[in-house]
Amino acid sequence: MGADDLPVGVVNVTGHDDDAGLPCLCKGCLPHAARTAEASGMQFQRSFAVAGTRVLHFWMLAELAQDQHHVRASVAAA
């Protein structure tokens, strides 16, 4: 499931953050954020976790892409 395929009615609870070194993924900034980014020499890709009717968008290290399902489950459970 990609971010474009999220169920209707989920609420993006990602807070605005313009000083993290990576593009912000809050509701207002998400449509303009690239799917990948680099910071401190590391590659990141966008991901998200859904818990009930809430979704949290976050940057995940690209090297964890093969474990994305587990990362999402861990974030959703936190």
Phi/psi of residue 4, nearest 5 degrees: -75, -15
How do the domains of the chain map onto residue ranges? 3-77
d(CA 16, CA 27): 8
Q: Quick one: pLDDT at residue 72?
A: 92
Q: pTM for the whole thing?
A: 0.84
* Average pLDDT for runs of 10 along the chain of length 78: 69 86 92 94 95 92 95 90
pLDDT value, residue 37: 96
Q: Taking the C-alpha atoms of 24, 28, 32 and 33 in order, what is their torsion angle to the nearest 10 degrees?
A: 20
